[in-house]
Structure 1
Amino acid sequence: MILKILRKYNALQQLASQGSSSSGLVRQLHESKWERQNSIQQRKIIPKLVYLHNPWKYLVTRFNLWKLKWLWDREFNETEFIEGSKQAAIVMTDIIRHQSTEQIGEYTTPVGFQQITRDMLLSRNDTRLQLVRFEREHLRRAIPMKVATRQNFGRKYAFIDMLFVGLRNTKDFDSPSEVVEVNEIIRRMDNELKTPSDILAVPHRIVFAEIFIRFRRDYSANIANQSKDTSPLHPPPLQDTQNKPQTLHNPATTALPLTGRILPRSDDSGWSVSFYKILTFDVLNYDPQSKQQQQTNHN
């Protein structure tokens, strides 16, 4: 009887030791996963963004979007358009950052092409432009600011002005080479601006930019008929993927339905960019712990 008890006890001890080792392994894996997720979250830390819209302008814009849909284009989908406009903002910003003038004409109107290429020449030596590296998740706001319709010389045009607010932590890059390049640009900027040492000591530097884009679409009769021939669920690709810069190959450039994508100028049945401008640019200094301490002291 005692032998049976001892055998049973030894068996239980072995099971307990195996269980503790396996639970220890699970705990280590869980902690490793948590640390990895925490590291990613730390890289992506940004301050909270609150945008206050003028109530009257907001109501006017909503009304004009309603008119565009029900009086001009029953297939217009605001959600799809906003997603497509984000895609356009990312693609155009990458093209401008790389000074790829040969690609601009694919996505712009003739007036937009002239304006953007002229601004590119003026800003080619502005290193701050190299910090504007946004992907879709970094565009924290995409706001329709104005909607207008025009009829000129028998042609019908619709215009939508969009404001994009981008925020990106300078640590939020997967490529080590990008992290080094961005930090070097910021270091040079700090030297030129003689940034105080207490600001340099903050844990997070945030790239902030406001981008304004005016989109135009031709709703003339012959163009409208062309757009009906193109299935909104299976649009042609946004661009030829051969001989394009590597930065343009990301999920943000995937094709979207007709109402939400920009098209080459030769096929003007979709929305094209007629104006592009970076309105505001800054590198913000953000210390979440300092904010928490201020709240604690206030309480």
Structure 2
Amino acid sequence: MINSQTQPKSRPDAEILPGTKPPAKDTNEPELLTEAEPADKPFPEAENDGVREPAAESQPANAGGAAAEAQTEPVSGSRAEGASEPARAGSGRKLGAVTRRRIVAAVVAAALAGAGAAVVMLWREAGVLEEERSARQAVALAASSFGEALLGYDYANLQAARDGVLSRAGDDFAKTYDEAFTGGLEGVITQLKARAVATCRDAYVGEVGDGRAKVIVVCDAQVTSSAGTRRMLGTYLEEKLIWSGGRWLVDEVNAIGASDETLTDPDGRPRAEPSPSASGG
């Protein structure tokens, strides 16, 4: 049995007034351990769990945690846009450089294409000019060769002279020349024992086109016969040529005459009037 005198004195809550301190504990009074929780102890649930609810004043202490949470959250809105501005600026510069390179490449390609087209055009024009030049050279050569064959002959081999002219003549002139040669020219050359040497030194090519050409050739010739020597310098032959069988042939000839003509007898003395000569023209 417990003596009532040894029991601790109880301090009812009604005696503790708000704003006052509880009376000091008697140090001589024995302390009893009981399972009952004092009624004035705040937040019993938090204390039982071992976790105390933070007070309103403790929120600044958790600002670091909030900042950490804020750092872990994805950034969006204006902040995200602002954060990506340097990256976008770098991308813009890269895109701008790529665009400039593409523009430069396009301009260079266009310039090369234009230059290539100009080169092709110049090449074609050069080809046309070269073709025309080659054609005129061929006409001049054919006309000069014909003039030398017409004005040169040898009574000892008239057939060769005749063949030389006919091989360079078109059908119309070949017919005219053959009639003149067999009609009297062959006999005169044989009678006078004439030999002629001719050289055509100049050829003036006129119109060339549609398989036709006009040329004036300047030839020098010298005829030696039993009647004397006849020298003809600057004989002009107006020739008309046609393109036939893959080459130029003379189809018509007109002799304009020599600019300088002299005649000497067999002894070398000048003669007043030239005697009829065995000229192939």
TM-score (norm 1): 0.33
**Greater share of helix:** 1
Choose between structure 1 and 2 for higher RCO, CA contacts under 8 A separated by at least 6 residues. Answer: 1
Q: Specify the structure having the higher radius of gyration (Cα).
A: 2
TM-score (norm 2): 0.35
